């Protein structure tokens, strides 16, 4: 592969005798304003200097150095006055205050999103007569006629067919409910995609891949802005309520990051330093985002460490934990789930799991890994079709078409009609003796005595509805697998956590029901002997659903440790960590990895074979070079004959400095030399004044030799967060390697299209 390498000779910087330099300065005049004066545009702060252009990578080393200098200056000044001491103390606690504000804001938004999405989802099926703003569950809470057995039925809640026709029975009422369900779904989807296209195109999708890229140092202007936050919050509610196969958990991570980015502007320390801001974003991305999405603060911190963060110092760990607790407390205070608990899917299984059950758990892990690999490949292929065909030109039509198909197919099946979170909660259900869940209706009731426990075995034999229940679940599984592939990636906010968990939960429930019946009819067999007792069920199908959900989520996201913690926080099932670990690890091993984002993992040998050398530079030459290239920076060498490396200068800083110099002094023209040396050469007194830009040059750029292996180079880029690295041979500059060059090279090695790399 021919690397994109270049060197730029800017000016002769041969050492000059001090006497010659002093003579040159004396000719310029004492005040330094003569025709041959050496102009330094950096005497006063220049607006925009040291900032980055859109779709560029930050310089982590420079940002960390800036923060050290700022902290050193604050510490030095704190000894001089009381005001400076108070400023130092406020600076030290600003990070904790910022985390508090982020947790409060993200928790409040998440609670509002949960309540609004629940309300609009129920509105597709009916309305509460006591108040249209009540969801189905809240409406029946207020009713005195609601019973435990029929807790989802109350006279205050009426379906649209019942409200219009006066009866809930009959084909006409069913068809009317069917049509209104589709109309509401299309209306919500249309509003969502229209608002995204009109106000914030960055609000579509999950946001987690782009946030991982931003945390690695990439600049995407507007991705975490206020319009993106407002639009994503509103359209996320609409997209979830439309019934599309998507979740709100991934987008909630994006929402939390938007909150953090906006609040960072209140504090100078984080507003003016991109590296410090990314510490806050790391905490918000997972700790706050996952905490409010799942009610899993500890799992959120681990998720940030395992999957999201690029730079995660120890102090960020503590602040992440604090922010996650604040967000979880805020969400708990709002109580959006209505169960006085923080967890989304609380379970309470009454039967222990058996060691032999690890075998089906491992099979669920294999299924999850294979499903994850299949989903990624199928979704990538569908996205490629979307880009290469006319389908990608009409995102509104695509969203409406997928919504219509989803609503048409989902409504007749009660399992696909309910929301993803409601379906998963139903699949996790325990089916205890007194439970009236729909999933337990296919079982024959046990011989229950007055105390609630009969003499027969606790598990119940299959009733006449078993085949119907299994058939509906199987159809729901196929539908969820297919529709999720075409849904993810559309121009609406869409998370992948809940659909992935739904697929795994359905598969796990099917396997659990099979094991339940097998254990009941073979309870005296060698394997199942002693499992069934009058006090406890032989098998818990809900546990299989929980393990399957974890397996599929791990297969799609490639999480392991944080996934297990999130799952037991999500369900409250601490005693089922071992089955979850077995499924998560098996899913990880079975998953076929597929990379498409700028993360440096493969290790190949590095070779470079191209070199470009430019002529000496004046101001006009620099401007011509910048206009004719797209490079973000240029190395500085001694001369063309002696290309010894001196430093590195950024393109943006060059342009800002030249523009500022021309505003300050009219004598700077295209023929003025650009000087990067500390002692510039003598110049004719009547010549144009040179422009001194040594102050914007990085005098210690990172370098590698031309014999450095690729694995070492990749490791340097990944651990130091570099945007470029210079290549030298015996001190002579050969060229430059950028992060994008490495990504292109690795894409070619993997037989992928190098232009498919994100933000190339």
**Last residue within a domain, chosen from 286, 305, 334:** 334
Both 244 and 379 in one domain: the answer is no
Confidence of residue 27 (pLDDT cuts 50, 70, 90): very low
Output the DSSP codes for 427-471: HT----TT---GGGTTBPPP---TTS--SS-SS--B-TTHHHHHH
pLDDT at position 754 is: 44
Q: Provide the residue range defining the domain that includes 519.
A: 355-442+458-595
Residue 539 confidence (pLDDT) above 70: yes
Quick one: tokens of 82? 């009381």
Both 472 and 527 in one domain: the answer is yes
Both 620 and 591 in one domain: the answer is no
Question: Which of the residue ranges 34-48, 120-134, 317-331, 451-465 would you say has the lowest mean pLDDT?
Answer: 451-465
> Does residue 63 form part of some domain?
no
What are 503-514's pLDDT values in tens digits? 999 999 999 888
Residues 302-311: what's their mean pLDDT? 72
pLDDT at position 181 is: 94
List all residues 6 or more positions away from 252 whose beta carbon is below 8 Å from its beta carbon: 106, 110, 113, 236, 289, 292, 293, 495
Quick one: tokens of 7? 């060197």
What's the mean per-residue pLDDT of the chain?
Answer: 75
Instruction: Please state, in angstroms and rounded to a whole number, the distance separating the CA atoms of residues 80 and 84.
Output: 7
pLDDT at position 258 is: 93
Instruction: Please state, in angstroms and rounded to a whole number, the distance separating the CA atoms of residues 46 and 508.
Output: 61
Instruction: Please state, in angstroms and rounded to a whole number, the distance separating the CA atoms of residues 531 and 527.
Output: 9
Among 343, 425, 418, smallest CA distance to 121 is for 418
> How many structural domains comprise the chain?
3
> Does residue 34 form part of some domain?
no
CA torsion, ordered 579, 584, 590, 596, to nearest 10 deg: 170
Q: Is 58 helix (H, G, I), strand (E, B) or coil?
A: coil
Most confident of 189-193, 332-336, 384-388, 486-490: 189-193
Most confident of 133-147, 309-323, 679-693: 309-323
Please indicate whether residue 341 or residue 594 has the higher confidence score (pLDDT). Answer: 341
pLDDT at position 285 is: 78
pLDDT at position 182 is: 94
Both 365 and 265 in one domain: the answer is no
Instruction: Please state, in angstroms and rounded to a whole number, the distance separating the CA atoms of residues 293 and 640.
Output: 58
What are 117-147's pLDDT values in tens digits? 989 998 998 888 888 888 887 787 766 665 5
Round to the nearest angstrom and report the end-to-end CA distance of the chain.
Answer: 17
Quick one: tokens of 150? 């029929």
What are 624-636's pLDDT values in tens digits? 777 777 777 788 8
> Does residue 87 form part of some domain?
no
What does residue 669 show for φ and ψ, rounded to 5 degrees? -125, 180
Quick one: tokens of 227? 């319009």
Both 109 and 206 in one domain: the answer is yes
What are 196-206's pLDDT values in tens digits? 999 999 998 88
Confidence of residue 409 (pLDDT cuts 50, 70, 90): very high
Q: Per DSSP, what are the bridge partners of residue 737?
A: 725
Quick one: tokens of 567? 């799952």
Would you say 564 and 584 are in contact if contact means Cβ atoms under 8 Å apart?
yes
CATH number of the domain bearing residue 236:
1.10.3080.10
Quick one: tokens of 404? 């219509």
pLDDT at position 154 is: 77
pLDDT at position 344 is: 64
Instruction: Please state, in angstroms and rounded to a whole number, the distance separating the CA atoms of residues 362 and 358.
Output: 6
**Last residue within a domain, chosen from 544, 564, 595:** 595
Both 304 and 408 in one domain: the answer is no
pLDDT at position 9 is: 32
Confidence of residue 49 (pLDDT cuts 50, 70, 90): low
Nearest-Å Rg of the Cα atoms of the chain is 32
Please indicate whether residue 103 or residue 166 has the higher confidence score (pLDDT). Answer: 103
Residue 303 confidence (pLDDT) above 50: yes
What are 598-626's pLDDT values in tens digits? 433 333 333 333 333 343 567 777 777 77
Both 269 and 369 in one domain: the answer is no
Question: Which of the residue ranges 213-222, 238-247, 349-358, 568-577 would you say has the lowest mean pLDDT?
Answer: 568-577
pLDDT at position 537 is: 64
Please indicate whether residue 213 or residue 191 has the higher confidence score (pLDDT). Answer: 191
Instruction: Please state, in angstroms and rounded to a whole number, the distance separating the CA atoms of residues 634 and 683.
Output: 25
Question: Three-state SS string across 260-307, please?
Answer: HHHHHCCCHHHHCCHHHHHHHHHHHHHHHHHHHHHCCHHHHHHHHHHH
Instruction: Please state, in angstroms and rounded to a whole number, the distance separating the CA atoms of residues 450 and 379.
Output: 54
Please indicate whether residue 712 or residue 465 has the higher confidence score (pLDDT). Answer: 712
Instruction: Please state, in angstroms and rounded to a whole number, the distance separating the CA atoms of residues 167 and 132.
Output: 20
**Last residue within a domain, chosen from 595, 624, 654:** 595
Output the DSSP codes for 543-591: HHHHHHHHHHHHHHH---HHHHHHHHHHH--GGGHHHHHHHHHHHHHHP
User: If residue 115 lies in a helix (H) or strand (E), which one and from where to where?
Assistant: helix 82-123
pLDDT at position 475 is: 92
How far is residue 393 from each of residues 399, 402, 485, 759, measured CA to CA in Å? 12, 15, 19, 20
Question: Which of the residue ranges 307-311, 324-328, 542-546 would you say has the lowest mean pLDDT?
Answer: 307-311
Residues 442-461: what's their mean pLDDT? 41
Both 640 and 563 in one domain: the answer is no
Would you say 156 and 163 are in contact if contact means Cβ atoms under 8 Å apart?
no
């Amino acid at each position: 592969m021919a690397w994109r390498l270049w060197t730029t000779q800017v000016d002769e910087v041969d050492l000059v005798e001090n006497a010659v330099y002093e003579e040159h300065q004396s000719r310029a005049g004492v005040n330094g304003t003569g025709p041959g004066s050496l102009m330094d545009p950096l005497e006063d702060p220049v607006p925009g200097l040291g900032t980055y252009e859109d779709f560029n990578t930050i310089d982590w080393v420079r940002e960390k150095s800036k923060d050290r200098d700022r902290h050193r200056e604050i510490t030095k000044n704190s000894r001089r006055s009381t005001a400076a001491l108070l400023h130092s103390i406020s600076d030290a606690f600003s990070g904790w205050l910022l985390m508090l504000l982020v947790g409060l804001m993200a928790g409040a938004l998440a609670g509002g999103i949960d309540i609004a999405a629940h309300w609009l989802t129920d509105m597709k099926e009916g309305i509460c007569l006591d108040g249209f703003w009540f969801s189905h569950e809240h409406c029946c809470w207020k009713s005195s006629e609601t019973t435990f057995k029929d807790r989802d039925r109350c006279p205050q809640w009426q379906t649209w067919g019942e409200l219009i026709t006066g009866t809930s029975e009959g084909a006409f009422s069913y068809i009317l409910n069917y049509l209104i369900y589709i109309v509401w779904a299309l209306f919500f989807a249309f509003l969502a995609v229209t608002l995204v296209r009109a106000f914030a195109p960055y609000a579509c999708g999950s946001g987690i891949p782009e946030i991982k890229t931003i945390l690695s140092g990439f600049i995407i202007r507007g991705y975490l802005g206020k319009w993106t936050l407002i639009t994503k919050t509103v359209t996320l509610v609409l997209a979830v309520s439309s019934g599309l196969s998507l979740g709100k958990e991934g987008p909630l991570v994006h929402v939390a990051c938007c909150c953090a980015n906006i609040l960072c502007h209140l504090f100078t320390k984080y507003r003016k330093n991109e590296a410090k801001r990314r510490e806050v974003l790391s905490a918000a991305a997972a700790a706050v985002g996952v905490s409010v999405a799942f009610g899993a603060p500890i799992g959120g911190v681990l998720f940030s460490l395992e999957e999201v963060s690029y730079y995660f110092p120890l102090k960020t760990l503590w602040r992440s934990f604090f922010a996650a607790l604040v967000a979880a407390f805020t969400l708990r205070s709002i109580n959006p789930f209505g169960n006085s608990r923080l967890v989304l899917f609380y379970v309470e299984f009454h039967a222990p799991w058996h060691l032999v059950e690890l075998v089906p758990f491992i099979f669920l892990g294999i299924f999850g890994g294979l499903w994850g690999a299949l989903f990624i490949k199928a979704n990538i292929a569908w996205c490629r079709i979307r880009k290469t065909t006319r389908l990608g030109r009409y995102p509104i039509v695509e969203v409406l078409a997928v919504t219509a198909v989803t609503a048409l197919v989902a409504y007749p099946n009660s399992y696909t009609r309910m929301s993803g979170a409601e379906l998963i909660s139903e699949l996790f259900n325990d089916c205890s003796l007194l439970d009236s869940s729909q999933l337990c209706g296919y079982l024959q009731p046990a011989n229950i005595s007055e105390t609630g426990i009969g003499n027969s075995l606790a598990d119940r034999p299959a009733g006449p509805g078993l085949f119907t229940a299994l058939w509906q679940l199987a159809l729901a599984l196929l539908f969820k697998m297919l529709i999720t592939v075409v849904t993810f990636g559309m121009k609406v906010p869409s998370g992948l956590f809940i659909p992935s968990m739904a697929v795994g939960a359905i598969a796990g429930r099917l396997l659990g029901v099979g094991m339940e019946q097998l254990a009941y009819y073979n309870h005296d067999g060698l394997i199942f002997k002693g499992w069934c007792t009058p006090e406890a069920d032989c098998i818990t199908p809900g546990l299989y659903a929980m393990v399957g959900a974890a397996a599929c989520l791990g297969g799609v996201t490639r999480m392991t440790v944080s996934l297990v913690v999130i799952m037991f926080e999500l369900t409250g099932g601490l005693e089922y960590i071992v089955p979850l670990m077995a499924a998560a690890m098996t899913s990880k091993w079975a998953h076929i990895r597929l990379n498409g984002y700028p993360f440096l993992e493969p290790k190949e040998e590095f070779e470079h074979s191209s070199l470009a050398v430019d002529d000496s530079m004046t101001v006009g030459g620099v401007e011509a070079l910048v206009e004719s290239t797209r490079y973000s920076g240029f190395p500085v060498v001694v001369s063309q004959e002696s290309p010894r490396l001196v430093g590195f200068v950024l393109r943006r800083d060059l342009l800002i400095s030249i523009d500022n110099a021309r505003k300050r002094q009219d004598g700077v023209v295209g023929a003025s030399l650009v000087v990067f040396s500390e002692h510039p050469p003598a110049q004719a007194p009547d010549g144009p004044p040179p422009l001194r830009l040594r102050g914007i040059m990085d005098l210690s750029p990172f370098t590698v030799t031309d014999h450095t292996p690729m694995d070492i180079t990749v490791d340097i880029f990944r651990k130091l967060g570099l945007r470029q690295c210079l290549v030298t041979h015996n001190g002579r500059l050969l060229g430059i390697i950028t992060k994008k060059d490495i990504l292109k090279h690795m894409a070619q090695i993997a037989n992928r299209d190098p232009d498919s790399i994100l933000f190339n």
